[in-house]
Structure 1
Amino acid sequence: MHSQFSSTMRFYRDSLQKVPWLSLTGYGVLIILNGLLVSLFLPATWQRSFLRFLLTAPLILILAKDLACFPLSVGRMKAAKARGAAWPHRLCAVLPPEFLSFMRLERTMWRGLLNWVLRRQLPARPTGKPLGYLERGSYGTVIGIIFVAMFVEIPFDVLIASVIAKSPGQIRTLHLAFGLIMAYSLVWVLGDRWYVQGRRCHTLTDTSLELDLGARGFGSIPLNAIARCDRLYEPSQAWCIRNAYPSYAIRKLTPFDAPNVVLLLQPGCDVQLTLFQLTRGGDGPIFLYLDQPELLIDNIVGHDAR
Structure 2
Amino acid sequence: MNIPEMLSLIVVGFLLKRMIKSRKPFSVIRFLASDVLLAFYVFSNVASKDLEYLMEIKVVFMYVFLIIGVSLVGSYLYGLRLEDKKWRAALMILSIYPNTVALGFPIASLFLEDLTPAIIYASTNTLIVLPISSFIAAHYSSGGASLKETVKRALRFPPVTANLLALVLVISRINLPSHFLDILHKIGWWSIPLILVYFGSTINLRKFEIRKLLEVAAFRIVLPFIFVFLTLNAPKEIFWAVLVEASMPPAIVANVILAQYKLKEEESIGVTIVLTLLVILLFVILRILL
* TM-score normalised to structure 2 length: 0.25
Structure that is richer in helix per residue: 2
Structure that is richer in strand per residue: 1
* TM-score normalised to structure 1 length: 0.24
Greater RCO (CA < 8 Å, at least 6 residues apart) = 2
